[in-house]
Chain A
Amino acid sequence: MKTFLAFIRKEFWHILRDRRSLIILFGMPVMQIVLFGFALSNELKNSKIAILDASHDPYTQRIIQQLNASDYFTITTSIQDEKEIEGLFHKNKVKMVVVFPAGFADLLSHQHQATVQLIADATDTNTANTMVSYASAILGSFQDWLLDQQTLPYTIHAETHMLYNPQLRSAYNFVPGLMAMIIMILSAMMTSVAIVRERENGNMEVLLVSPLKPMWIVIAKAVPYFLLSFVNVLIILLLSYTLLSLPVHGSLILFLFACLVFILTSLALGLLISTVAGSQQVAMFMSLIGLMMPTIILSGFMFPIENMPWVLRAISHVVPARWFYTIAQSILLKGVSIFTLWKEMLILLGMALFFLVISIRRFRLRLN
Chain B
Amino acid sequence: MSTFKYVLQKEFQQIRRNPTIVRMMLAVPIIQLIVLPFAADYEIKQLNLAVVDQDHSSYSKELIGQMTASGYFQLANYSSNFNEAMGAVERNEADLILEIPAHFERDLVREDGATLALHANAINQVKGGLSQLYAGQIIRRFNNQIRAEWVQWPRYSPVEMVKIEPQLWFNPHINYHLFMVPGILAVLITMVGSFLASMNIVQEKEAGTIEQINVTPIKKYQFLLGKMIPFWVMGMFSLTLGLVIAYVVYGIVSVGPLWVIYAFSAFYLAAILGIGLLISTFADNQQQATFVSFFFVMIFILMSGLYTPVESMPDWAKVIAYANPVTYMIQVVRGVMIKGAGFMDILPFVGIIGAFGIFFNALAVWRYRKTV
Contact = CB atoms under 8 A, between A and B. Distances in A.
Main secondary structure of the interface of A (DSSP, over half): helix
Interface string A113-128: 1111111111111111
Interface residues on B, range: 35 or more
Contacts of B122: 162-166, 168
B151 interface: yes
B161 A143 contact: yes
Contact of A90 (B130, B146, B171, B339): B339
Interface stretch (B214-222, B225-233, B270-278, B285-293): B285-293
B288 A112 contact: no
B20 A153 contact: no
A280 B41 contact: no
Contacts of B178: 123, 125
A169 B312 contact: no
B166 A35 contact: no
B170 A155 contact: no
Interface in A153-198: 153-166, 168-170, 172-173, 185, 189-190, 193-194, 197
Contacts of A238: none
B117 A161 contact: yes
Contacts of A170: 125-126
Given A35-B302, A130-B130, A42 B117 contact: no
A58 interface: no
Interface residues on A, range: 35 or more
A69 B370 CA distance: 59
Contacts of B168: 120, 122, 125, 128, 132
A106 to B, nearest CB: 11
B171 to A, nearest CB: 4
B333 to A, nearest CB: 11
A204 B27 CA distance: 30
A162 B126 contact: no
Highest count of chain A CB atoms <10 Å: which of B87, B120, B142, B340: B120
Interface of B: 18, 20-21, 23-24, 27-28, 31-32, 35-36, 38-43, 45, 87, 89-92, 108-109, 112-130, 132-133, 135-136, 139-140, 142-143, 146-147, 150-151, 156-172, 174-176, 178-179, 199, 203, 206, 282-288, 290-292, 294-295, 298-299, 302-303, 307-309, 311-314, 316-317, 320, 331, 334-335, 338-342, 345
Given A116-B163, A334-B90, 4 more contacts: A20-B283, A42-B309, A117-B166, A193-B287
